[in-house]
Chain A
Amino acid sequence: MTFPRLQRRILLYMAVVAIVLWVLVPLVLIALAAFTPRSELYRWPKRIIPSTFSSATMSFFLHSYGVVSSLCNSVVVALLTLGMTLVVGAPAGYAVARYVFRGREAFRLGILMTRMFPTSLLAIPLIVTFIRWGLYDTLIGVAFVHTAMALPFAVLITSGIFSGVPKELEEAAMTLGCSRLGAFVRVALPLALPGLAAAAMFTFVISWNEVFAASILTVRNRTLPAQVLASLEAAPLDFRFAGAFFMIIPALIFMALARRYLFQMWGGAIAER
């Protein structure tokens, strides 16, 4: 039965290549555009690969005010958000998955409702409160808001994850002498790790890309999107490409790091059985 299998293989790889091209081509175009000299960018028809490469726009961009520090700020805010969201949200997800308690459905729907709300109506009234509490223009303030935005999804995802972990395994561990917490830590948690990693990645990304709340709640300590987007508006095309590309790079790097971590869990979860 090797013939159909070969056909299937070829189809599979064709699909893979098509999808990879679909994802990468726009990114490659933007990368090329970021390094195209300005005069060439306006030419018609646009050449995909410019005749000369120029790093002038990118270096201007990198050296312009606050870009590098806002990068660090973004990382800090995203990490803080990640930590707070998981610590607060994962237990809630576990509770929703494991227990049928009164108000459970209301809780699930209720926290989702918070995300059905436009960010602008949320963040703007907060400014005055933040000023009064001294949270204005601080990274932790932004992280607080980002956590509030990420929590509903974190709870949703983790509850889905935990409900996929068979209850019987925890119960078995408890009959063997583990406490409830012990059973959770030793049995449920390791099995749920891929899902938790997904929740973590998701939270990080939400915080990283969030621009409105971050820009409205900070003055000097801006995150990368807030910093970049204010100056990109009404900027010439080459700067907008450079800016867009520059914002993508940290995401690529983060994905590379997270990928190793994510796949560790993947391999680990299977081996552990």
Chain B
Amino acid sequence: MRWLFIGLLVSVGVTVGVASPDLTFMSTQLRPITEAEWVRTVLLPPFTEETGIRVVFLGVEEPELTTRVLAEYEAGKGSLDLVGDLHGNFLVYYKALKDLSAELSQLEALGDRTLAKTFVELGRIDGAQVYIPWMQATYVLVANKKALAYMPSRVATEGLPYLTYDELLEWAKNIYQATGEKRLGIPAGPKSLLCRFLHGYLYPSFTGAQVKKFNSPEAVAMWQYLKELWEYVNPAVLTLDSMDTALLSEEVWIAWDHTARVKTAILERPDDFVVLPAPAGPKGRGVITVLAGLAIPKTSPDPAGAYRLIEYLTRPSTQAMILQGVGFFPVVAEAAGAVPTGGLKVLADGVAAQSAAPDLLVSIIPGGLGARSDEFKKVYVDAFTEIVLRGRPIEEVLAQQGALLDALFRETGAPIPVPDVYLP
């Protein structure tokens, strides 16, 4: 009993909180343990040296960050100074964020950096500059070199091959016929980015739009293709949120995933993998650019300090450091020339090839859905579950889910996204 009481006394003493005069930087990006440690031991110390401000970096999942920012906004008092998140997520809670137009002008006045115009524009929501662009990433194909032997012969093998979706299907089929194993992988677990593959890669490649042609003959053809493709996908992907483990254990030989999520595999064995541009469909090579940004909550205790950190993180030298350190690509033109060495070069080459594709069709994750952005994702994933996993008739499911999608856009008043706007 004695130690119980002593424990209680000690704990009461400890719970008296001490206020700390440093910055709290909470981010959904760079949160896996190796990346977070890199941030703490490599990225942030030079900032602390320069300014004397200590930064506490906390990596959390998207729903948690959203919940916190909104809660602090509602309570009128907060502890988060700076927030790092993805464009798509900022759209949910942008009302709680400070307008950074003044800070943006200050940054531009420094003259040593040019933030990509399109990205700065994206950060402008409802007339306010909700975030400053920070880093970018995309989704690519990663192949184990073992798989290259089975690639369809007509694919040009000089440099990195530009595949079509039909060629991808053939490739996976070849592997299956030769080895009896299903070695294609697309993450389909509950926290995976499957929805992005569906609305940002497949849909634009086959129909030319993310949303507008949800229920259309082209979409039906697309889903038929996916059903066929899924025959050659490793069944375990339904429980996997990312492909790096599967790639390393060779349960999967060809994977589609986010650059940050396949990075581990590539860094572990750079000589075993090659990164390829995403495939193209009848209407083009649909890709999504993932944009991460930095924002200051309205309830931030130290907005001035937060701005200094933004300034540091958007410096060309820091941007190059980020690329070299964690494989996230810069958003400032001055750092565009930076090429990482080692395993990351494999990644960068693939991304560069993808960006240089002549038939590139860039999609931006739809904005303006606000709090219901995740219902948007659910529509595509549910359609997938019904059509591909449960074999329900395609037209029926598209009609049902399409109705939900229409209602969603109507009720939120969200604008038509890119590239749908370019459709006649």
Contact = CB atoms under 8 A, between A and B. Distances in A.
Interface of A: 38-39, 42-44, 60-61, 64-65, 72, 75-77, 79-80, 82-83, 124, 127-128, 131-132, 136-140, 215-216, 219-221, 230-237, 239, 243
Interface residues of B, number: 47
Contacts of B116: none
B17 A65 contact: no
Nearest to B251: A44
B79 interface: yes
Given A65-B40, A230-B61, A231-B32, A132 B17 contact: no
A64 B38 CA distance: 10
Given A42-B249, A219-B24, A219-B58, A80 B8 contact: yes
B264 A76 contact: no
Chain A CB count within 10 A is highest, among B7, B15, B72, for B15
Contacts of B4: 79, 82-83
B242 A234 contact: yes
Contacts of A131: 71-72, 75, 77-78
Nearest to A239: B33
Given A231-B31, A233-B31, A236-B244, 13 more contacts: A38-B268, A65-B40, A79-B8, A80-B8, A80-B12, A127-B67, A128-B75, A231-B36, A231-B59, A232-B33, A233-B61, A235-B33, A239-B34
Contact of B268 (A39, A75, A80): A39
Interface of B: 4, 7-8, 10-12, 14-15, 17, 20, 24, 26, 31-34, 36-37, 40, 56-61, 64, 67-68, 71-72, 74-75, 77-80, 191, 241-242, 244-245, 248-250, 261, 264, 268
B15 A64 contact: no
B67 A137 contact: no
Contacts of B67: 124, 127, 216
27 contacts: A42-B245, A42-B268, A60-B37, A65-B36, A79-B11, A80-B11, A80-B12, A82-B4, A83-B8, A124-B71, A128-B74, A131-B78, A132-B75, A219-B24, A219-B26, A230-B31, A230-B64, A233-B31, A233-B61, A234-B241, A235-B33, A235-B34, A236-B32, A236-B34, A237-B245, A239-B34, A243-B33
A137 B56 CA distance: 14
Contacts of A65: 36-37, 40, 57
Nearest to A139: B15
A220 B19 CA distance: 11
A215 to B, nearest CB: 7
Chain B CB count within 10 A is highest, among A39, A139, A232, A235, for A235
Contacts of A64: 33, 36-37
Contacts of B79: 136-137, 219
Contacts of A61: 33
Contacts of A139: 11, 14-15
B30 to A, nearest CB: 10
A160 to B, nearest CB: 23
A269 B61 CA distance: 49
Given A79-B7, A220-B56, A236-B245, A138 B71 contact: no
Chain B CB count within 10 A is highest, among A38, A42, A216, A220, for A42
A139 to B, nearest CB: 5
A138 B11 CA distance: 11
Contacts of B12: 80, 140
Nearest to B7: A79
B261 A234 contact: yes
Question: Across chains A and B, which 4 residue pairs bring their CB atoms closest together, nearest first?
Answer: A131-B75, A127-B71, A231-B33, A76-B11
Contact of B264 (A75, A216, A230, A236): A236
